[in-house]
Structure 1
């Protein structure tokens, strides 16, 4: 167990499964308190229980990041239970359930819901949690973008556009919050596989991704969590406004 996040409270959205679960577990393993925010109460509570049973500190609270009232209620919970906040991982996103299709076949309702979660969500929640982050002092926000932006990945236009927005948001947030001592960075993963099923990825597509990477293997949560933990910790205290590609050398730009 590391102590790099000792005494710190960190919110992880989408913490009930997949990479969010792994980020929350790492926060607790590094000595912090993981505040798990998820729209799925059952899975979120399960992850919080897993962490506490392992000797870590975790709490769960329901959150729909795409809903402003839900974000404000969550911020009230944080203020009531913790007062200040030291970190925020804007991880929640719609992705694994997306059906790949040409952009002209994407239903507008699907576009709107995905944008509400993937792009409006980080904006709404960060805004709601700003008072607590300012109180935390030297707080760190980690947004989750995607290397799909740089690839121009076909079949996922709304997802790619949403993550492009997250990237731009990261740069602007870093400029606007630097005066408060709040750092804002993003990680940009390549294809990453967790316990969450990915029915739209064929064996041939997976093989093609391996071939495009400098490291010819699958990426898993263990390849992402250390980078997020680094960006949340004082080890990165003079890094802000950066997007770190964590994709096994998928891109050369």
Structure 2
């Protein structure tokens, strides 16, 4: 909804799920990771954090908040050997991007992508596995857009 039509309950619901939910999950695992002096936290943001669509202020704000939170937590957890990163998927074939978009609009977003399609949930697996692996042991506070090259154009 446009901001002038966005009610407090909707705003709160979106931020509670996307931002507060991320905070609560991270807080729940941090002490154990600190004690073990090892851990990998991978948060899920969205390209909406830095390139929002119209009528998506609450969602964009919540996902931008996830990016800021990820970076702040990375600083706190680094002394304990814990990395904190995020992926930022582009339009992905789930129920969420279809809210307010027609099948035709979804197809057009796929055509505009250099790879000729929108992402599938499985496209997120590789980036998450990288951040979870020891190959990313010295990578922290980063966000990886998973967009099929959408922002290259």
Q: TM-score, normalised by structure 1?
A: 0.56
Greater fraction of residues in helix: 2
1:204 pairs with 2:75: no
Task: Give the gaps of 5 or more residues in structure 1.
Answer: 1-100
Written as runs of structure 1 = structure 2, the 5 A alignment for 1:47-196 is 101-194=1-94, 196=95
Find the aligned partners of 2:63 and 2:4 in 1 and give their Cα distance. Answer: 19
4+ runs deviating over 6 angstroms: none
Find the aligned partners of 1:222 and 1:147 in 2 and give their Cα distance. Answer: 17
Q: What does residue 226 of structure 1 align with? A: 126
Task: Give the gaps of 5 or more residues in structure 2.
Answer: none
Q: What does residue 20 of structure 1 align with? A: none
Per the TM alignment, residue 218 of structure 1 is displaced from its structure 2 partner at its CA by 2.5
Rate the CA distance shift 1:208–1:150 in 2: closer, same or farther, 3 A.
farther
Q: What does residue 238 of structure 1 align with? A: 138
- Greater Rg by CA: 1
Higher relative contact order (CA 8 A, sep 6+): 2
Q: TM-score, normalised by structure 2?
A: 0.90
Per the TM alignment, residue 170 of structure 1 is displaced from its structure 2 partner at its CA by 1.2
Contact 2:107 2:117 in 1 (8 A): no
The root-mean-square deviation of aligned C-alpha atoms, in Å, is 1.8
